[in-house]
């Protein structure tokens, strides 16, 4: 499905983090619908390095790009030499998805270097090339603010959330100084869908619960999960928001969610219904203090200025995603 009237054919498109979850979905969207577009992916790809919490330092994976025909540059946002490789192109659109996105990484220096310092470089590149810039912000900027979470009422509570908050403030200033540019930040809520598997432990509960059920086990949920709700948004709606951001009526920062929060228990129950199982639920105590119990995106400005309307209810999104969950279980998990 094409989400707006822009013809991306014969344009040059940069996707940072293009081997990751959202970036790779964007790449295939353009490849499928605009075969004459020149698509350039910039990603550091994964190594065996991990953070102190044991999670991988990079989630980019070659398997997310099997079938991709564009240019691929393996590079790091923190490397001046790697970033200079992008200067040989003249980009019309820049989608900046690359980041350290693990909310439980507390090394402030590496997060700020990777997420914030590189943003200045990409903003300057967009200005020089007269490119539209769409970048990934995050609902993590809100911390534990009450629902509905509204742009302008942020209170980040971890280094990742703060780095995205800092990027938003930089973007606002750049927008004021360069009104001729289109710069849009998208605060993603809980995104799920194809090509998230290689996010490993930080992949959505939807694929994690799905694979638990396919193992023949009851999904493991925190006690009281029927009252823990999140704004789960399907990847196809996230792609819609990115595409519509390219001709935004107004540059700025916008929430990307459904504004219809659902519980973790809902996810487990929908999956069991679709898979024809009845394993019940394996509850265990929530080990986290200060755990956020409710998120809900205020998408009124997103609708007004981007023309974004979420199209996927949780039931329909899970049903659409299920064949991929099964395929990954057979090919990557149950081996």
For the chain, domains (ranges, CATH) are 12-333 (3.40.50.720)
- H helical segments located in the chain: 21-33, 80-84, 108-112, 118-129, 159-177, 205-214, 235-245, 264-275, 300-306, 314-328
pLDDT at 105 over 90: no
Please answer whether residues 168 and 253 qualify as being in contact, where contact means their C-beta atoms are separated by less than 8 angstroms.
yes
State the average pLDDT over residues 11-17: 98
Model confidence at 101, pLDDT cuts 50, 70, 90, reads confident
Q: Is the pLDDT of residue 51 over 70?
A: no
> Does position 1 have pLDDT exceeding 90, yes or no?
no
Calpha distance 285→224 (Å, rounded): 9
Buried b / exposed e along 281-297 (16+ C-beta atoms within 10 A): beeeeeeeeeebebbbb
Average pLDDT over residues 99-123: 87
Banded model confidence at residue 159, pLDDT cuts 50, 70, 90: very high
Mean pLDDT of 303-331: 98
Report which DSSP code applies to 198.
G
The rounded distance, in Å, linking the Cα atoms of 286 and 270 is 22
Question: What are the structure tokens assigned to 209, written together?
Answer: 């619960």
Q: Residue holding tokens 């698509």?
A: 39
Q: Are strands 262-263 and 229-230 parallel, antiparallel or unpaired?
A: antiparallel
Q: What is the pLDDT of residues 183-210, one digit of tens each?
A: 999 999 999 999 999 998 889 999 999 9
CA distance linking residue 135 with residue 96, whole number of Å: 4
pLDDT at 121: 95
Q: Which residues participate in catalysis according to the annotation? A: 160, 199
User: Does pLDDT of 48 surpass 80?
Assistant: no
> Which of the four pLDDT bands, split at 50, 70 and 90, describes residue 170?
very high
- Mean pLDDT value of segment 94-100: 94
Q: Which of 234, 185, 199 is nearest to 21 (CA)?
A: 199
- Rounded CA separation 99/60 (Å): 11
């Amino acid at each position: 499905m094409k989400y707006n009237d822009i013809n991306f054919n014969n344009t040059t498109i940069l996707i940072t983090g293009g081997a990751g979850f959202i970036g790779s979905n964007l790449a295939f969207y353009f490849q499928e619908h605009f075969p004459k577009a020149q698509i350039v992916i910039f990603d550091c790809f994964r190594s065996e390095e991990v953070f102190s919490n044991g999670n991988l330092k990079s989630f980019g994976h070659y398997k997310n790009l099997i079938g991709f025909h564009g240019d691929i540059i393996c590079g790091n946002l923190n490397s001046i030499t790697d970033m200079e490789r992008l200067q040989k192109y003249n980009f019309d659109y820049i989608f900046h998805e690359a980041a350290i996105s693990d909310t439980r990484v507390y090394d402030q220096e590496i997060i700020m270097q990777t997420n914030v310092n590189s943003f200045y470089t990409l903003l300057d590149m967009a200005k020089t090339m007269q490119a539209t810039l769409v970048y990934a912000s995050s609902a993590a900027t809100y911390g534990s603010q009450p629902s509905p979470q509204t742009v302008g009422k942020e209170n980040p509570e971890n280094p990742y959330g703060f780095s995205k908050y800092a990027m938003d403030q930089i973007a606002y200033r750049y927008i004021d100084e360069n009104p001729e540019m289109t710069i849009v930040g998208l605060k993603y809520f809980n995104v799920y869908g194809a090509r998230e598997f290689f996010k490993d432990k930080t992949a959505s509960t939807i694929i994690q619960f799905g694979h638990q059920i396919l193992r023949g086990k009851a999904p493991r949920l925190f006690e009281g999960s029927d009252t823990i709700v999140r704004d789960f948004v399907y990847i196809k709606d996230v792609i819609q928001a990115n595409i519509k951001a390219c001709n935004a009526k107004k540059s700025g920062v916008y929430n990307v969610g459904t504004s219809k929060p659902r519980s973790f228990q809902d996810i487990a129950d929908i999956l069991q219904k679709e898979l024809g199982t009845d394993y019940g639920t394996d509850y265990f105590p929530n080990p986290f203090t200060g755990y956020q119990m409710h998120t809900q995106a205020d998408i009124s400005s997103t609708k007004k200025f981007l023309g974004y309307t979420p199209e996927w209810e949780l039931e329909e999104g899970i049903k659409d995603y299920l064949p991929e969950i099964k395929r990954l279980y057979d090919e990557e998990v149950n081996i």
